Amino acid sequence: MITDEQLDAYRVNGDKLRVVRDGLESNDVKGIVVAWNSEQVMIRRQNRKVVKLDRSYSYQVFSEPRVSPVE
């Protein structure tokens, strides 16, 4: 699970993240961190829609290569 300190650093820096939910790259959510609580993270996607995602997903910086959680 991602920590509050990591989420705050991503929010302050405005880093674009990739949220890897499963083995398919097409199911990834890309965007910036807006807010979070103990169970969920809110990500603003490029089309300005906000989605709530579980904190147990893999959060990766978009500029780095994708690491699949299945492998």
- Count of C-beta atoms within a 10 Å radius of residue 42: 15
- Return averaged pLDDT per consecutive 10 residues of the chain, 71 residues in all: 95 96 94 96 96 96 90 65
Report pLDDT for 71: 65
Please state whether the predicted TM-score (pTM) of the whole model is above 0.85. yes
Mapped onto helix, strand or coil, the DSSP state of residue 43 is: strand
Report pLDDT for 26: 94
Measured in Å, how far apart are the chain's first and last C-alpha atoms? 18
- Count of C-beta atoms within a 10 Å radius of residue 54: 11
Distance CA(38)–CA(18), nearest Å, equals 20
